[in-house]
A and B are shown apart, each in its own frame.
Chain A
Amino acid sequence: MAIYSKEELFLAISTVIDPEVGFNLVEMGLIYDAVCDDEGNVKVTMTLSTKACPMHQLIQQWVKEAVEKMANIKEVEVEVVWEPVWNITMADDNVKKALGAG
C-alpha cells in the first residue's frame, strides 16, 4: 500500500511557487501525476509552461525537495514531460481569472 496518496503528494508540491506568475505549480496545472509506492519511492510527472523556461532545473529541484520533506520518503524522481503540452485550460479557475484568461 502506498504511503501517500496522490492528493497528499500534490498538497506537498503545492508549496512550490512559480516566481514569475506567482501561483503554485499544482494550481497552474503543471503537475500531471504523483505516485508513491509502499517503500516511500515517489515519482512525480510534471511539465513546464514553456520549454525555454530558464528555471527548468531549479523548479524540478524544488519539487523534489518539497516531497523529500514528507516523512518516510526514500527516493524522489521528478520527470518533466512535454506531452500533453501545457495550456491555460489546465490551470485552476482562480489562476485563469487572475491572469485575465477566465
Chain B
Amino acid sequence: MSPISQEFAPPFKLIAPFFILGAIFYLVASLFLFAFDASSLSFLNPLVISFVHIFLLGFVMMTIFGAMAQLVPVVLEVGHFGVELFYAIWPLLLVGTLLMAGGFLYSSALLPYGGVVVLISMMIFVGEIFLTIKKVEKFNVVMSSVLLSNTFLFFGIIFGLVMALGYAGTIAVDVTALLKAHVYLVVGGYITITIMGLSVVLLPMFGLSHGFSLKSLHIALYMMSFAVVSVVLASLFDWSVLSYIGYVVSIVSLFIYFYQVYIIYKTRARKENDIYAKSLFFAYISLVVSLLMGVLYLVSEDESLLLASLFLLFFGFIGFAITGHVYKIIPFLVWFERFSPLVGKEKVPMLVDMLPVKSSSAQFIFTSIGVVLITIAILLGNSQLIGAGASFLSVGAVALLRSVLYMINYK
C-alpha cells in the first residue's frame, strides 16, 4: 500500500470515537424532546438551550470534526499538519459538552468550566485546520470556504465562552444581545459554510456530476459571510436594521446555495436512490421548507415559526446532511483500513456491501417521520404530538447508532 495514501485516510481508531459519540448524542438529543412542553418553548428555556448544545456540540460538531479528519486532506489536497491532535479533540469536546448541557440544566456554575473545555477542544481543531491550510499553495473556492468557516468558528466559540461566563455571573455581559452573534457565527458561519463548501466536492463525487458552474456557490458564500458579519455587528452595537438585513441576506444566500445543489443534482450521472441520496434529498427539502418558514417569521414575527424553522434546519437539514454522509465516510475508512491491503490477494467487499440495509432504512423512515411530526407539533403548540415525534426520532436514533456500530465492526 502506498504510504502517501494514509494522508488521505487517517487511522480509523482516531476517527471512530467521533462517530460513535456523535450517534450517542443524537440519541440523547432525541430523548430530550420527550421533556419538551409546547407551551413553554422559547430560546431562553434552559431545557431548550441544553438540548441545542447536546445536538450541536455533541452530535453536529463531534461528527463534523471526525469527518473533517478525513475530508480536509481530500478537499485541501494536502496532508494534515498534525492529525494526531484529533486524539485530544474528542475527549475534550465530550467533557465540555456534558458540562455545558448539565450547566444549563442544573448549575450555571459548571458553564465556565464547560465553556473553557469546549474552547480548548475547538481551538485545537481550528489551529490544526489553519496550519493545514497554510500548506495549500493555490486556493479554490472550496478551500476558501474551509478557511472562512473556521475563522467564523474561532470567533463563535469566543463569543460562546463570554456568554457562558456571563450566564454563570462571572462577568457582566448582556447574554441575550450576544446570543444572535454566537448562533450566527457557529450555525451560519461554521456549520452552514462548511456544508456549502464540502457539498460541492462530495455531492459531485458520489453522484458523478460533471460540467456544472460554481458561480451560485460563490454568491451564496459571499452573502452568507456578509450576513454573519452583519448580525455580529448588529449584536455588538445594537443596530436592529443591520440585524434584519443579515437575516434576509442569509435566507437569500441559502436559496442560492439550494440552486447550486439543484444544478449538481441535474448533472449527476449516478441516479441510484440509495440511503445517501434519500438522506440528502430529505435534507435539502427540509432546508427549503425551513427557509420558507423563516421568511414567514420575518413577516409575522410569530416565534413558533422561528422555532419550527430552526428545528427543521437542525434535525431535517443539518441532521440528514450529516447522517447521509456518515453512510459514505465510515464504510470508506473501514474499507481502507481493513480491506484495501487485501486487494488483488483475495475477494474484498464493495463499499455498498458494508451498509446495514435494514437499520439504515429504519433510521431514514423513523427519523423523517419524527422530524415532520415535531415541526408540525411546534407550529401547533401540541405537546402530545411532540412526544409522538420524539418516539419516532428516538427509534431512528437507535437505528443510526446500530448502523454506525455495524459499519465500524464490519469484518
Asked if A37 lies at the interface with its beta carbon under 8 angstroms from chain B, I say no
Cα distance A91–B349 in the bound complex, in angstroms: 22
Chain B residues, Cβ within 8 Å of A5: none
Contact with A along B4-18 (1 / 0, CB 8 A): 110011000000000
Q: Nearest chain B CB to A13's CB is how many angstroms away?
A: 12
Question: Which residue of chain B lies nearest to A51 when distances are taken between CB atoms in the complex?
Answer: B77
Asked if B1 lies at the interface with its beta carbon under 8 angstroms from chain A, I say yes
Interchain CB contact (< 8 A) of A58 among B2, B70, B208, B211: B2
Asked if A101 lies at the interface with its beta carbon under 8 angstroms from chain B, I say yes
Asked if B352 lies at the interface with its beta carbon under 8 angstroms from chain A, I say yes
Q: Nearest chain A CB to B372's CB is how many angstroms away?
A: 27
Query: Could you tell me how many residues of chain B have their Cβ less than 8 Å away from some Cβ of chain A?
Result: 34
Query: Could you tell me how many residues of chain A have their Cβ less than 8 Å away from some Cβ of chain B?
Result: 31
Cα distance A49–B74 in the bound complex, in angstroms: 14
Q: Are B348 and A58 in contact (CB under 8 A)?
A: no
Q: Are B348 and A19 in contact (CB under 8 A)?
A: yes
Which residues from 14 to 35 on chain A have a C-beta closer than 8 Å to any C-beta of chain B?
A: 15, 17, 19-22
Chain A residues, Cβ within 8 Å of B340: 55, 58
Q: Are B2 and A54 in contact (CB under 8 A)?
A: no
Cα distance A51–B75 in the bound complex, in angstroms: 9
Chain B residues, Cβ within 8 Å of A51: 77
Q: Are B1 and A58 in contact (CB under 8 A)?
A: yes
Chain B residues, Cβ within 8 Å of A88: 208, 210, 269
Interchain CB contact (< 8 A) of B343 among A52, A62, A100: A62
Chain B residues, Cβ within 8 Å of A69: 344
Chain A residues, Cβ within 8 Å of B104: none
Cα distance A61–B344 in the bound complex, in angstroms: 11
* Most central of B343, B348, B350 by chain A CB within 10 Å: B343
Asked if A86 lies at the interface with its beta carbon under 8 angstroms from chain B, I say yes
Q: Are B8 and A50 in contact (CB under 8 A)?
A: no
Q: Are A57 and B210 in contact (CB under 8 A)?
A: no
Chain B residues, Cβ within 8 Å of A86: 210
Cα distance A11–B295 in the bound complex, in angstroms: 58
Interchain CB contact (< 8 A) of B270 among A19, A60, A99: A99
Which residues from 265 to 286 on chain B have a C-beta closer than 8 Å to any C-beta of chain A?
A: 269-272
Q: Nearest chain B CB to A97's CB is how many angstroms away?
A: 11
Which residues from 62 to 83 on chain B have a C-beta closer than 8 Å to any C-beta of chain A?
A: 70, 73-75, 77
Q: Are A54 and B211 in contact (CB under 8 A)?
A: no
Given contacts A65-B344, A101-B271, contact A57 B205 (CB under 8 A): no
Asked if B335 lies at the interface with its beta carbon under 8 angstroms from chain A, I say yes
Cα distance A17–B201 in the bound complex, in angstroms: 22
Chain A residues, Cβ within 8 Å of B1: 58, 61
Asked if A66 lies at the interface with its beta carbon under 8 angstroms from chain B, I say yes
Question: Which residue of chain B lies nearest to A87 when distances are taken between CB atoms in the complex?
Answer: B210
Q: Are A54 and B70 in contact (CB under 8 A)?
A: yes
Q: Are A20 and B351 in contact (CB under 8 A)?
A: yes
Chain B residues, Cβ within 8 Å of A91: 269
Q: Nearest chain A CB to B407's CB is how many angstroms away?
A: 14
Interchain CB contact (< 8 A) of A54 among B74, B344, B348: B74
Question: Which residue of chain A lies nearest to B354 when distances are taken between CB atoms in the complex?
Answer: A19
Cα distance A100–B332 in the bound complex, in angstroms: 23
Please list the 5 inter-chain residue pairs (A to B) with the smallest Cβ-Cβ separation, ordered nearest first: A100-B271, A88-B269, A101-B269, A57-B5, A54-B8
CB-defined A-B contacts under 8 Å, sample of 5: A53-B205, A54-B9, A58-B5, A91-B269, A96-B269
